[in-house]
Amino acid sequence: MAKTLEDLDKKTNSKVLAKAKANALSMLADMSLAEMRKARGIKQADMAHGLKIAQPNISQLENRQDLLLSTLDNYVRTLGGKLEIHAIFPDGQNVTIAYPLVDS
């Protein structure tokens, strides 16, 4: 007899589930801009329209090594998100840096 998903869930160790969830979140946290766009189901043409730039420029933007914060903010907003910046120090202190300075 086949086992139900509910039966498997009951037998699965909660520590294993927690670790799997942490690994999944970590993988999502380490996405490139292109991977993030694709994961959101948005095409380059749609990004180009939202950012008011030509479609070939999306690929260039996604492959840049250095972006202006305003460019990154616009990119994330076009995906429907909000850019947050954090400074993390060796002592564990995590400081949220206010950006943008003026909410638009």
Residue 24 falls inside a structural domain = no
Tell me the CATH number at 104.
Answer: 1.10.260.40
Query: Residue 102 is part of which domain span?
Result: 32-104
> How many structural domains does the chain have?
1
CA within 13 Å, CB half, 17: 7
* 94/30 Cα distance (integer angstroms): 18
* 66 backbone dihedrals φ, ψ, rounded to 5°: -140, 120
Each residue's pLDDT tens digit, 39-59: 999 999 999 999 999 999 999
* 60/56 Cα distance (integer angstroms): 7
Query: Could you tell me the pTM of the whole model?
Result: 0.67
Instruction: Tell how strand 85-88 and strand 94-97 pair up.
Output: antiparallel
Mean pLDDT of 76-98: 92
Residue 9 falls inside a structural domain = no
